[in-house]
Amino acid sequence: MRGRILASRAGLSASAREEAGRSLVHPLLELPELGMAGTVACYYSIGAEPDTRRLVYALWKRGTYVLLPLLLPDGDLEWASYEGPDSLVPGARGCMEPGEPTRGLDAVARADVVIVPAVAVDRNGNRLGRGGGSFDRALARVGPLIPVIALLYDDELVDDVPTEPHDRPVTAVARPTHGITPLPAR
């Protein structure tokens, strides 16, 4: 499933990825949870993921404290603040990361909303990532009442994804033409 979806994503043009990201911004910014959030943990998209650059910038411009991950050699994620597009530096595996001082592994636990990448999500909130477990480790630090939103393309909310005991569910997905879809509570 992961390989099939990633291959489909690879066939998308840069403009299609950018348009998908643009379509996600407005529904996300209208979410009451994001409107009230003082701190949002997000990610800076890479490759064929739905583009998050506009979302991260819009959150920051409206005064939200935005945390972005830094990939550690062991695959875990540390977090640092986003201070505008000029604050980003090249990081591990082609990721753009904040050049600001890190806030530690547990900074994600202090976020009011967490936005995560996903390859697919099923209707029970089970998230299929890229297979490294980085975001699952980070989500293990997030409390059960914190909204966790996965960003997908339209056809990536599916009936079932394979799960492992360490997998952490999400509470909603955002898709370009479908907007926000709440999922069962964790």
* Range in 52-61, 72-81, 102-111, 162-171 with the lowest mean pLDDT: 162-171
The full DSSP string for 35-50 is HH-SEEE-----TTSP
Write down the pTM of the prediction: 0.94
d(CA 115, CA 79): 13
Domains of the chain: 2-182 (3.40.50.10420)
The whole-number pLDDT of residue 2 equals 82
* Range in 100-109, 138-147, 156-165 with the lowest mean pLDDT: 156-165
pLDDT at position 127 over 80:
yes
